[in-house]
C-alpha cells in the first residue's frame, strides 16, 4: 500500500478525476477532502462513505482510504501536519489537537451544522482563487483561510463527539482520561480501571469517583456507550458482520454485543442496520 508523506507544513491541491478509482493509500498527515462536484464512494478503514458535492471529510494520519469515482469529480484537498498545528497559537492548537484525536473513529461528512456548509463552500472557493491567481501574499492569505476552515471543522466535530462534556469547568486531567479512553478503545486490557489508574498514577477508587464526578457517567458506562456509538458507525457505513464488529471492539462475542446494544438502543444490531438501510432506499 502506498504511504504518502507531506514535506511542508501544509499544502492545498485542486484535482479533477474521471471515472476511475483512487487506490487505497495511507499518509502521515491530516487531510481534508472537499467535494466541489461529482459523486462516488470514499472508503475509510473499510467504511463505505458515499460522497457528493458539498461534503467534507477529515482523514486522520494512518487512515487507509480510497475513492471510487462514479461521476466526474472535482476534489479539493487541504493537507497539514503536526508542524503546522504547533506553529499556531497555543490555546487554539491544544483545543484542536484534543478534538482531532477524538474523531479518528468517526467517519463520514463532518459538516453537521447546516449553516456552516455555505461558509465552507465560500472559503474553499476563495482558496481555489488564491491557488489559481497566485497574487501577492497568496500563501499568507491561504493560511488564514485554512485556519478558518479548521476552526469551522472543530466546531462541527464537537457536535459529533459521542459524549459532550457535561460540566463547563472540566479539568485538563479529566480531558486527558477521556483522551486515553478514546485512544485505546480497541485495546480492552488498557481500558480496565486498574490499568487506567496506573497510567495516571492514581488509585482505582479515586479514578472511579473522579470520573463520575466530572462526567456524570461511571467509567464503564462511558466506555460502553462510546463503543456502542462506534458500533452504530460500523453498522451504518460498513458491511462488517456483527461478529466482526464485536471482535474489533473487544466484546466477549456476538451475543454479548447483541445484549449490550439492545439494552442501550432498544433493538439488536441487525435490526438497527436494516432500519438504516430502509431509510436510504
pLDDT digits (tens, 9 = 90+) for 196-254: 999 999 999 999 999 998 888 899 999 999 899 888 877 876 778 999 999 988 999 99
Average pLDDT, the chain: 82
Dihedral, 38, 120, 114, 41 alpha carbons, nearest 10: 30
Cell match 480531558: residue? 175
The pLDDT value recorded for residue 210 is 92
- Backbone φ and ψ for 271, nearest 5 degrees, come out as -65, -40
Query: Domain 172-280 in CATH: superfamily?
Result: Homeodomain-like (1.10.10.60)
Cell match 479539493: residue? 76
The pLDDT value recorded for residue 191 is 93
Judged by DSSP in three states, 46 sits in coil
CATH number of 2-160: 2.60.120.280
CA distance 24 to 38: 20
What totals of helices (H) and strands (E) does the chain contain, helices first?
11, 7
Alpha-helical (H) ranges within 17-101 are 82-86, 90-101
30-44 vs 65-80, strand pairing mode: antiparallel
Task: Please classify residue 182 by burial: count the beta carbons closer than 10 Å to its beta carbon, then call 0-12 exposed, 13-18 middle and 19+ buried.
Answer: buried
The pLDDT value recorded for residue 281 is 53
Which range of 17-21, 104-108, 267-271 scores highest in mean pLDDT? It is 267-271
Which tops the pLDDT comparison, 54 or 175?
54
The pLDDT value recorded for residue 123 is 95
Specify whether the CB–CB gap between 39 and 71 falls below 8 A: yes
Residue spans per domain, the chain: 2-160, 172-280
The pLDDT value recorded for residue 96 is 61
DSSP 177: H
Instruction: Go through the chain and tell me how many residues it has.
Output: 281
pLDDT-derived band of residue 55, with 50, 70 and 90 as boundaries?
A: very high
DSSP 41: E
The least confident of 1-10, 62-71, 195-204, 262-271 is 1-10
Q: Kindly tell me if the per-residue pLDDT of 73 is higher than 90.
A: yes
- Backbone φ and ψ for 52, nearest 5 degrees, come out as -155, 175
The pLDDT value recorded for residue 85 is 66
CA distance 34 to 73: 11
Judged by DSSP in three states, 89 sits in coil
The pLDDT value recorded for residue 89 is 64
Amino acid at each position: 500500500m502506498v504511504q504518502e508523506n507531506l514535506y511542508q507544513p501544509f499544502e492545498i491541491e485542486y484535482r479533477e478525476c474521471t471515472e476511475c478509482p483512487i487506490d487505497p493509500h495511507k499518509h502521515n498527515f491530516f487531510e481534508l477532502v472537499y467535494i466541489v462536484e461529482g459523486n462516488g464512494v470514499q472508503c475509510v478503514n473499510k467504511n463505505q462513505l458515499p460522497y457528493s458535492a458539498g461534503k467534507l471529510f477529515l482523514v486522520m494520519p494512518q487512515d487507509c482510504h480510497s475513492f471510487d469515482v462514479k461521476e466526474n469529480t472535482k476534489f479539493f484537498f487541504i493537507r497539514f501536519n503536526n508542524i503546522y498545528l504547533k506553529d499556531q497559537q497555543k490555546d487554539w492548537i491544544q483545543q484542536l489537537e484534543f478534538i482531532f484525536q477524538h474523531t479518528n473513529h468517526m467517519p463520514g461528512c463532518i459538516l453537521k451544522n447546516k449553516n456552516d456548509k455555505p461558509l465552507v463552500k465560500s472559503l474553499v472557493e476563495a482558496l481555489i482563487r488564491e491557488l489559481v491567481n497566485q497574487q501577492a501574499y497568496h500563501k499568507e492569505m491561504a493560511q488564514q483561510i485554512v485556519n478558518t476552515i479548521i476552526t469551522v471543522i472543530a466546531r462541527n466535530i464537537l457536535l459529533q463527539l459521542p459524549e459532550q462534556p457535561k460540566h463547563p469547568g472540566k479539568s485538563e486531567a479529566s480531558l486527558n482520561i477521556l483522551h486515553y479512553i478514546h485512544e485505546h478503545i480497541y485495546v480492552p486490557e488498557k481500558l480496565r480501571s486498574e490499568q487506567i489508574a496506573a497510567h495516571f498514577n492514581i488509585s482505582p477508587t479515586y479514578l472511579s469517583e473522579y470520573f463520575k464526578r466530572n462526567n456524570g457517567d461511571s467509567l464503564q458506562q462511558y466506555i460502553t456507550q462510546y463503543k456502542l456509538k462506534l458500533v452504530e458507525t460500523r453498522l451504518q457505513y460498513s458491511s462488517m458482520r456483527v461478529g466482526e464488529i464485536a471482535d474489533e471492539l473487544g466484546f466477549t462475542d456476538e451475543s454479548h454485543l447483541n445484549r449490550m446494544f439492545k439494552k442501550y438502543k432498544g433493538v439488536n444490531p441487525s435490526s438497527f442496520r436494516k432500519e438504516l438501510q430502509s431509510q436510504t432506499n
